Amino acid sequence: MWRKRVRLAVLFIFIVVSWPVFFPLPFLSTSKYQHVDVDQVEKAEGFLVSINGICTQVVQDSSLYTQGWDTLKQPNFWRYAMRFPPDTVIINIAKNRHLIEVESLARVRAWGEKRHKAYEDSIRKKYGLKKKDPIFFTTGRNHFYQFQKVMPEIDEAIDLFQDEGTDPWYAQTILLIESPGRMQFSTDGAYGAFQLMAGVAREVGLIVNDTLDEREEFDKSARGAARLINRVCLPHTRALCNSYGLEYEEHDLWFRLLTMHVYHAGIGNVRQVMRKIRPKEGGLELITELWQTKSRRFGNASQNYSQIALGALLEFDQLIQKEGIICPLNQMEDGRLVKGQIR
pLDDT at 1: 53
pLDDT, averaged across the chain: 83
pLDDT at 25: 34
Q: Which residues pair with 336 in a beta bridge?
A: 333
- Per-residue pLDDT of 131-152, as tens digits, reads 999 999 999 999 889 888 888 8
For residue 235, the one-letter residue type is P
- The larger pLDDT score, comparing residue 73 to residue 10, is at 73
Q: What number is the average pLDDT over the span 21-34? A: 35
Helices (H), the chain: 2-22, 63-66, 73-83, 105-109, 113-126, 147-163, 168-178, 198-203, 218-228, 234-243, 253-265, 267-277, 284-290, 300-323
- Decide if pLDDT at 337 tops 50: no
Give the residue from 76, 80, 75 showing the smallest Cα distance to 141.
Answer: 80
Q: What number is the average pLDDT over the span 145-173? A: 93
Give percent of the chain above pLDDT 70: 79
Give the residue from 124, 181, 182 showing the smallest Cα distance to 150.
Answer: 181
List domains and CATH numbers for the chain.
88-139 (no CATH), 147-323 (1.10.530.10)
Helix axes 73-83, 300-323, angle to 10 degrees: 70
For 14, 37, 114, 214, 342, the CA distances from 332, given in Å and listed in that order, are: 42, 17, 64, 34, 11
pLDDT at 7: 56
Give the separation between CA 16 and CA 10, rounded to whole angstroms: 10
The pairing of beta strand 340-341 with beta strand 98-104: unpaired
- Per-residue pLDDT of 270-314, as tens digits, reads 999 999 999 999 999 999 999 999 987 898 999 999 999 999 999
pLDDT at 47: 67
pLDDT at 35: 29
Helices (H), 204-329: 218-228, 234-243, 253-265, 267-277, 284-290, 300-323
pLDDT at 9: 53
- Per-residue pLDDT of 88-125, as tens digits, reads 999 999 999 999 999 999 999 999 999 999 999 999 99
Residue 55 binned pLDDT confidence (cut-offs 50, 70, 90) = confident
Q: What are phi and psi for residue 14, nearest 5 degrees?
A: -60, -45
Residue 165 binned pLDDT confidence (cut-offs 50, 70, 90) = very high
For residue 256, the one-letter residue type is R
- Per-residue pLDDT of 171-224, as tens digits, reads 999 999 986 555 666 667 788 888 888 888 898 888 889 899 888 889 999 999
- The larger pLDDT score, comparing residue 235 to residue 10, is at 235
- Decide if pLDDT at 26 tops 80: no
**Is the distance from CB of 309 to CB of 260 less than 8 angstroms?**
yes
Contacts of 198 (CB under 8 A, 6+ apart): 189, 191, 208, 213, 215
Give the separation between CA 206 and CA 209, rounded to whole angstroms: 10
Residue 37 binned pLDDT confidence (cut-offs 50, 70, 90) = very low
Give the separation between CA 236 and CA 229, rounded to whole angstroms: 10
Q: Which residues pair with 93 in a beta bridge?
A: 98, 135
Q: Give this prediction's pTM.
A: 0.82
